[in-house]
Amino acid sequence: MNKTKIAVLVSGGGTNLQALIDAQESGKLRSGEIVFVVSNKPGAYALERAKKAGIETMTLCRSDCGGQEGFETALMTALDSHGIELIVLAGFMSILSARFTGHYEKRIINIHPSLIPSFCGKGYYGLRVHEAALAYGVKVTGATVHYVNEIPDGGQIILQEPVHIQPGDTPEILQRRVMEQAEWRILPEAAELISAEIQKKKENKA
């Protein structure tokens, strides 16, 4: 059975990418295979994680492509030439246009470190999400995996996992707990779920 070809887009440390790689190695991610990792930030540690796992990498910067349109065109060309069927955004810090998301409808998923629709959308990224959750005083936060469309963090929800706020939480402590208890578990789970769906669709067509 042909596995779903997955590309992971990253910008930073890549702990979510690592969770995907670990899931692949342990067999939890079995319907898809990570074949390509693309970073829009040169030197991102995520690239090292990919190389260690023997996965092909590429760095593509907006500034080298003459802006967003050129960046997305180059990205689409690279993804399509690798036969990518599922794109996983794992800490990818760039908003993608409707032209891009429309080209891969229901083929892009993202992990967001809150329970959408709380603390999401434009401006809610990294520590800011956890700062906002603590400032609001919510007792439960968590993580969400969702499809990516033209609305930032606005696509259909695939999986969510709640995480309780603890006394003494700082944005940094909360960020870590949300990763450990939610993100690193539900992102590989969602990648498997969607990879299996894509695989099934291919089989039905064949």
Residue 14 within binding range of ligand GRF, rule CB under 6 A: yes
The helix (H) or strand (E) run that includes residue 56 is: strand 56-59
Contact 23, 29 (CB under 8 A): yes
As measured in angstroms, the least distance from the Cβ of 72 to ligand GRF is 19
Per-residue DSSP letters for 161-188?
Answer: EEEE--TT--HHHHHHHHIIIIIHHHHH
The residue range among 11-19, 32-40, 80-88, 153-161 that interacts with ligand GRF, by the rule CB under 6 A, is: 11-19
Q: Is 90 in the site for ligand GRF (CB under 6 A)?
A: yes
21 or 194, CB closer to ligand GRF?
21
Binding ligand GRF (rule: CB under 6 A), the pick from 49, 55, 91, 115 is 91
Catalytic, 146? Answer no
Beta bridge partners of 7: 36, 87
- Write out the binding residues for ligand GRF, residues 50-69 only, by CB under 6 A: none
Report the run of H or E that residue 70 belongs to, with start and end.
Answer: helix 68-81
Cβ proximity to ligand GRF: between 46 and 84 the closer is 46
Would you mind telling me the total number of residues written for the chain in this entry? 206
Q: Give the x/- contact pattern for ligand GRF in 163-202, rule: CB under 6 A.
A: ----------------x---x-------------------
> Of the listed 82, 103, 112, 146, which one is catalytic?
112
Q: Note whether 152 binds ligand GRF by CB under 6 A.
A: no
For the CB of residue 13, give the shortest distance to ligand GRF in the complex, in Å: 4
> Residue 181 phi/psi, 5° resolution?
-90, -20
Instruction: From 12-20, 72-80, 116-124, 194-202, give the range in contact with ligand GRF by CB under 6 A.
Output: 12-20
**48 φψ region: left (φ > 0), alpha (ψ -120 to 50), beta (else):** alpha
CB of residue 15 to ligand GRF, shortest distance in Å: 3
The answer to whether residue 153 forms part of the interface with ligand GRF (CB under 6 A) is no
What burial class does residue 95 get, using C-beta atoms within 10 Å of its C-beta: 0-12 exposed, 13-18 middle, 19+ buried?
middle
For residue 198, give every residue at least 6 positions away whose Cβ sits within 8 Å of its Cβ, in sequence order, or none: 4, 31, 32, 85, 86, 107
State the DSSP string of 84-113.
--EEEESS--SPPPHHHHHHTTT-EEEEES
Catalytic residues: 112
The residues of the shown chain that bind ligand GRF, judged by CB under 6 A, are 12-16, 46, 90-91, 111-113, 179, 183
